[in-house]
Amino acid sequence: MNEQIRESNRAVAKRLVDEVLNKGNMKVFDEIFADNYAMRNMPVPEIPGTKEGFRRLVIATRKAFPDVNVHIEDLVADDEFAVFHDKVEATSEGDFFGVPPNGKRLAWTEIHFLKIAGGKIVEHWSNFDQLGIMRQLGVIPSGN
């Protein structure tokens, strides 16, 4: 395993979280996402699985949750991939794909699987607690 590539892939994942997701820095977004980027699972039906689609998702999320804070809990990387588990906390202050804000503080977890080539994210799979988010937003009743 090439240690330099592994550390570079870790750094890309950290920049995604620290600069793009937490700060909304679209300049860094353009630096770390390949033009042919593919989001392999679509968390929102009306968002295409492209670089532009993910940009729209980041912007919409930051508008709905302007104080979003993504904290990496675990991060591993090899020569081709970076994988991280994170915890997200945010306050519902804006419309989120048709769901009105409720002013509540939300928390959920996510897992991201990034394929990285030449220092850029080329493919991305994610899994996050959509049910928990919808319950906290009041869209789905909390179950016992």
pLDDT attached to residue 46: 82
Q: What does the alpha-carbon distance between residue 11 and residue 14 come to, in Å, rounded to a whole number?
A: 5
Please state the rounded mean pLDDT for residues 52-58: 94
pLDDT band of residue 78 (cuts 50, 70, 90) is: very high
Tell me the average pLDDT across 69-92: 98
Helices (H), 2-81: 3-15, 26-32, 51-64
Please state which of the four CATH numbers 3.10.450.50, 3.30.470.20, 1.10.10.10, 3.40.50.10490 is assigned to the domain occupying 3-137: 3.10.450.50
Q: What percent of the chain has pLDDT over 90?
A: 86
Whether the pLDDT of residue 144 is over 70: the answer is no
Tell me the torsion sign for CA atoms 22, 25, 26, 28: negative
pTM as predicted: 0.93
Is pLDDT at 44 greater than 80 in this prediction?
Answer: no
The domain locations on the chain are 3-137
Token pair in block for residue 36: 């042919």
